[in-house]
């Protein structure tokens, strides 16, 4: 096995030294859905992600790629001689960048908002997280959030669980 090459600071270079800048739209306007297709509990639901379905989200995606390129061209990173691998420097037009955003984009795996809270016909749970029409069933997770938070969903989900625990204790007093 050959030793790795060293950079000008004497640090070993990985055969594919890389950095993966990542951007995230913290306020997406696109909305998907999860729908029950059958009363059969073994039938998978219909899941429509609907990413990048609004003009606003498309523009954020394109602008994010452009902004990331500006960051990577900063003087502070010059010594690392960054080269763009994906989508690649030849991808420049608005249409090409939008296509790349759709092809390369991923989620941060924090979906929320699939179980609307309220009293209208679209609502799944009430204000105590009880599922409408089904006794003794609550939804206690991020799906009860109306919109994604601007940070990790872990702490807000834990808060929802704490409140649900309080609701359960209040609704089932021991005596």
Report the catalytic residues. Answer: 110
CA 160, 161, 166, 168 torsion-angle sign: positive
Measured at the CA of 128, the angle between CA 160 and CA 30, to 5 degrees, comes to 60
Q: Give the Cα separation of 136 and 168 in Å (integer).
A: 9
Q: Give the Cα separation of 33 and 134 in Å (integer).
A: 21
CA nearest 68: which of 95, 110, 104? 104
């Amino acid at each position: 096995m050959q030793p790795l090459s060293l950079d000008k600071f004497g640090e070993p270079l990985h055969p594919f030294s890389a950095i993966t800048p990542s951007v995230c739209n913290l306020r997406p306007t696109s909305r998907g859905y999860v729908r029950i297709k059958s009363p059969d509990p073994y039938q998978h639901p219909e899941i429509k992600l609907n990413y990048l379905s609004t003009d606003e989200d498309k523009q954020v995606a394109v602008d994010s790629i452009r902004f990331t390129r500006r960051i990577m061209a900063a003087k502070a990173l010059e010594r690392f001689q960054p080269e763009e691998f994906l989508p690649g420097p030849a991808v420049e037009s608005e249409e090409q960048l939008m296509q790349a955003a759709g092809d390369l984009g991923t989620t941060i795996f924090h979906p929320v908002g699939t179980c609307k809270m309220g009293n209208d016909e679209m609502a799944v749970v009430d204000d105590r997280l009880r599922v409408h029409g089904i006794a003794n069933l609550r939804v206690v997770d991020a799906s009860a959030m109306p919109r994604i938070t601007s940070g990790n969903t872990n702490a807000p989900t834990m808060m929802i669980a704490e409140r649900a625990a309080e609701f359960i204790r209040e609704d089932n007093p021991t005596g």
